[in-house]
Structure 1
């Protein structure tokens, strides 16, 4: 089952040209320039395409993988994926350990930026953020907030919005009013695989996971998502990998 690289601008709701949070193109080039501009050193981490879900394609992906970002068509309302369990409010300790941002309506097509924040925010111990950079200040400011409060903070963050707009304009694809794709991020936290989708009410647990097996562990979930949307080829998979020094 192949995952063709996509240059389609992606988001989770119809876009309006000139909006504050336009869609981001799903390519490593765009995401790398974006994350580096926010305060992640270029020699620290890097986004890479994943060209397939078979063993040979996965073996080509630079390790270690810190997060997996999937761009895919908006699924049917009744779509369900294997072994998913939405964290409930009673699981306070786990909620505090997983960095999650809600995608509120005023954030428009910011799902690409939210996926990036989910990726870096849950790998903060492995990413050396530049002190007082945009990301460093954002994570310090939102560390004790709940997912909705983080969303409101992001929506009002002019520096982040400008960086998002520059990243959106860096893409090779012309922005469109009709956006039908969406970003989600997969991370491992304390031995568990989580799906982080700002359009959901919270993180979704997908079972045991490790820092070594993250990419392999997410494959069944991605295959299930693809099976639920059989009439589209607009899937693109990227990883955030740490550069070996």
Structure 2
């Protein structure tokens, strides 16, 4: 949610999203995802009973975290790595750089829904459908200029249980997403980084992102 880099210039600024499945699902469906998919809370990755209630397969993991110094060190170390672009060779990854301030929840949802098997649930000719069909260089501009995206986002953001902060206030929380690539690699997708970060986790075709090996990437909330 926050401007994690004080030197970064954003094209515009949105209301930060409350971490609430009702809010996130409203946004996801409004952008063009079929109602066959849903985002849900995971309160603990150590509670086997709670995890057993989650519908499978799990296509993406979304983590909302405080922007602590540990996160900042992790982000800075990955920003300068050439692996961000080299890892994409031979991979069908949709990457979108965050250019809208306080909208990291939006970018987490975009990365979760435009990648892997989730892209099969995008409604043709929807906003998301057009986004996926566009090229890497066009996606950021499409999001920035779309009044439809801005209005769908605004309605979802205002649905939260807590009042949105004043526009000028920084929020020290940030959303990141983990996805499974077509070849089984798990990627960390942070819109405020310079690109996808390939983790050390590989999953088989029959494994999803609630596998214990995938959860070792980071303690995450789940879609």
Match of 2:89 among 71, 74, 93: 93
1:220 Cα deviation from its structure 2 partner: 2.0
Cα distance in structure 1, aligned partners of 2:87 and 2:199: 15
- Residue pair 1:86, 1:204 contacting (<8 A) in 2 also: no
1:130 to 104, 123, 127: 123
- Work out the CA distance in 2 between the residues paired with 1:62 and 1:137: 28
Distance of 1:88 and 1:164 partners within structure 2: 28
In structure 2, runs of 5+ residues without a counterpart are 5-11
Residue 217 of structure 2 corresponds to residue 238 of structure 1: no
Unaligned runs of 5+ in 1: 1-10, 224-236, 241-245
Alignment counterpart, residue 214 of structure 1, candidates 172, 192, 209: 209
Deviation at 1:91, TM superposition (A): 4.3
Root-mean-square deviation over aligned CA pairs: 2.4
Indicate yes or no: 2:28 matched with 1:22: no
Change (3 A) 1:89 1:186: closer
- Indicate how the Cα distance of structure 1 residues 61 and 219 shifts in structure 2: closer, same or farther if over 3 A, else same: same
Alignment: residue pair count: 203
Structure-2 separation of matches of 1:49 and 1:92: 30
> Aligned equivalents of 2:150 and 2:117: distance in 1?
21
Alignment partner, residue 7 of structure 2 = none
Cα contact 1:20–1:161 (8 A) shared by 2 = no
Aligned equivalent of 2:141: 152
Q: 1:60 to 1:201 in 2, by over 3 A?
A: same
Instruction: Write the distance in 2 (CA, Å) between the matches of 1:33 and 1:71.
Output: 18
Report the secondary structure of 2:216's partner residue: helix
Match of 1:103 in 2: 98
Structure 1 residue 124 displacement after superposition: 5.1
CA distance in 1, matches of 2:27, 2:131: 15
SS at match of 1:155: helix
User: 2: CA distance between counterparts of 1:89 and 1:128?
Assistant: 27
Report if aligned partners of 1:47, 1:238 keep a CA contact under 8 Å in 2. no
Residues in 2 aligned to 1:154 and 1:97: alpha-carbon distance in whole angstroms: 20
Equivalent in the alignment of 1:5: none
Which of the numbers 134, 153, 156 marks the counterpart of 1:167?
156
Is it true that 1:52 corresponds to 2:44 in the alignment? Answer: yes
The answer (yes or no) to whether the contact 1:69–1:186 under 8 Å persists in 2 is: yes
Distance 1:92 1:209, change over 3 A: closer
Q: Which has the larger share of strand? A: 1
1:20 Cα deviation from its structure 2 partner: 4.7
Question: Closer, same or farther in 2 for the Cα pair 1:38/1:119, shift >3 Å?
Answer: same
Shift, 1:80, TM fit: 3.5
Cα distance in structure 2, aligned partners of 1:92 and 1:220: 22
Shift of 1:125: 5.8
Please say if residues 187 and 197 of structure 2, whose CA atoms lie closer than 8 Å, have aligned partners that are also in contact: yes
Q: Structure 1 residues 152 and 124, CA, compared in 2 at 3 Å: closer, same or farther?
A: farther
